[in-house]
Amino acid sequence: MTNQQTIRVRFAPSPTGYLHVGGLRTALYNFLFARKHGGTFVLRIEDTDRSRHVEGAIENLTATLRWAGLDFDEGPGKEGAFGPYVQSQRLELYRQYANELVDTGSAYPCFCSPEELDTMRQAQMERNERVRYDRRCRSLTPEEVDAKMAEGTSYVIRLKVPMFGDVAVNDIIRGNVTFQLNILDDQVLLKSDGFPTYHLANVVDDHHMQITHIIRGEEWLPSVPKHVLIYQALGWEIPQYAHLPLLLNPDRSKLSKRQGDVAVEDYRARGYLPEALVNYLALLGWSESKDREFYSMPELIEAFSLERVGKSGAVFDLEKLNWMNGQYFRNLPIEQRMELCRPFLEPAGYDIRDENRYRKIIEALTPRIQVPVEAREKAEFFFSKHVPEDETADVFLYSESGQKVVHLLLEKLKDIEDVTAERFSEILADAKSTLGVKGKYLFMPVRLALTGETHGPELPLIAEILGKEECLKRLQEELRA
Ligand code: GLU
């Protein structure tokens, strides 16, 4: 491996308006690798596709990375020696290299209009040929080129891909990978509006920013031969590649929006803990040993290595993530759990102004919450009650035995000064021996009458939080003549 001091990696997203969880995993692996080796983690914004421009996307991206704990060393707003870090601010550089590639015979101007290209494509499809640029401008003479330029014909610059041979790289994760050149298209490097394509800008910047390791998703592997040709044509050293395995839906298709949420911002908005999301994503493609699942960021930095990243796709399993988030949530001090749930309860109109009561609510609900957003639904019965009109209610609550339980509880509760969990447990025990009902036939009528639900936290806890008056009121409501 390269000298430890010189390691420089980058996360190079295109600002689409949100950060994909796969992007966060890529950023994380870059970050971990940099931190582990005392290197530099660069954030570079690849925004040369102007049709995809989204207002505020860079700010959103940096805020999301910061939330996840992935602080970059150089990037927008953190100018280092290699800025600017936003490609649309570096256009001159790409033009300069596109021209250099033309001058040295590695690229050529192509004057074909969109209509011509379209006709070419149609014809190729009709002949059942592979659709590709047929390289007709590759053989223009210098005079022909000059003439077209003099006429002001608009043009792009294309890479002159060799007709034969191959390109091989040694990818840290995938090993030796060889690409045949004869199937490659003469890639456009510079568009007619003077903007570079991803390929040119990416290579120029990785070189200029002295990137030593390119760690990115497997979907970029097919770009490697084009990039290698550009590096070679410009006489530049090729960085080390490490292509990360794809993230998959449970049905093993590529992780997509259609099958669930892929935007990190959505997870953040639902109260997921960044530590849990990062921990979970770290394990999607990398593992230190089979039996370890929990890692703090410093532990990840310590344990991470690219050599232990696998080749096969990793399934993004929401249930597993939720489970892990629940583990992190439960380990937090109560004050933090209260803060995390608050934004979901206040807008729902729940009155949580009494801090003491709110604390008890969150304590009671904690074992049933994996993600803070769930608190809204789980806490609802503390603020309103609705007993469903169904068979369960008929059998347990409105039956003769259910009504007896409700009656007895009302009697007992009236007599006591204050409802504590302990006192309520005693009342339940009393009811059991006095009425001779037990199990579901004792608990279900009480639970239904107090909460309208069939599951939830321990009844004595609920009763204490509701308080005497509310318990009496709720029981009273369920009395049938
Ligand atoms: N701009 C590319 C993206 O959106 C970067 C790919 C790379 O890392 O080279 O992911």
Any atom of ligand 1 within 6 Å of the Cβ of 14: yes
Give pLDDT, residue 3: 47
Give pLDDT, residue 256: 79
- Which atom belonging to ligand 1 lies closest to the Cα atom of 10? 8
**Is-contact 120 134, C-beta < 8 A?**
yes
Structure tokens, 169: 């790289």
Specify the residue with its C-alpha closest to ligand 1, atom 6: 12
Any atom of ligand 1 within 6 Å of the Cβ of 12: yes
CA–CA distance, 445 with 458 (Å, rounded to integer): 14
Residues of the chain with pLDDT under 70: 1-5, 258-260, 481
Give pLDDT, residue 108: 98
- Which atom belonging to ligand 1 lies closest to the Cα atom of 223? 9
Q: Which residues contact 276 (CB under 8 A, 6 or more apart)?
A: 321, 324, 325, 327, 328, 329
Among 148, 160, 257, 320, the one annotated catalytic? 257
Any atom of ligand 1 within 6 Å of the Cβ of 49: no
CA–CA distance, 175 with 172 (Å, rounded to integer): 6
- Which atom belonging to ligand 1 lies closest to the Cα atom of 216? 8
The residues that bridge with 214 in the sheet, in sequence order, are: 241
Structure tokens, 173: 């994760």
Any atom of ligand 1 within 6 Å of the Cβ of 46: yes
Give pLDDT, residue 4: 46
Give pLDDT, residue 1: 46
CA–CA distance, 472 with 146 (Å, rounded to integer): 94
Any atom of ligand 1 within 6 Å of the Cβ of 239: no
pLDDT in tens, 310-332: 999 999 999 999 999 999 999 99
pTM score: 0.93
> Angle of helix 400-415 relative to helix 440-451, nearest 10 degrees?
70
Specify the residue with its C-alpha closest to ligand 1, atom 10: 13
Residue 356 CA to ligand 1 centre (angstroms): 49
- Which atom belonging to ligand 1 lies closest to the Cα atom of 206? 9
Give pLDDT, residue 259: 67
Give pLDDT, residue 51: 76
Nearest to 229 by CA among 137, 160, 158: 160
pLDDT in tens, 44-99: 999 998 777 788 899 999 999 999 999 999 999 999 999 999 999 999 999 999 99
Q: Which residue has the tokens 């640029």?
A: 133
Q: Which domains are seen in the chain, by residue range?
A: 8-87+247-315 (3.40.50.620), 90-244 (3.40.50.620), 332-382 (1.10.8), 385-477 (1.10.10.350)
Which segments within 65-161 are labelled E, that is strand? 107-110, 156-159
Any atom of ligand 1 within 6 Å of the Cβ of 30: no
Q: Is 257 a catalytic residue?
A: yes
Any atom of ligand 1 within 6 Å of the Cβ of 243: no
> Angle of helix 421-435 relative to helix 440-451, nearest 10 degrees?
130
Any atom of ligand 1 within 6 Å of the Cβ of 236: no
Structure tokens, 16: 């689409």
**Is-contact 249 255, C-beta < 8 A?**
yes
Give pLDDT, residue 17: 86
List the strands of the sheet with 40-43, edge to edge: 40-43, 8-11, 213-217, 240-244, 166-171, 175-180
Residue 14 CA to ligand 1 centre (angstroms): 7
Give pLDDT, residue 261: 85
Structure tokens, 229: 């040709």
Specify the residue with its C-alpha closest to ligand 1, atom 5: 12
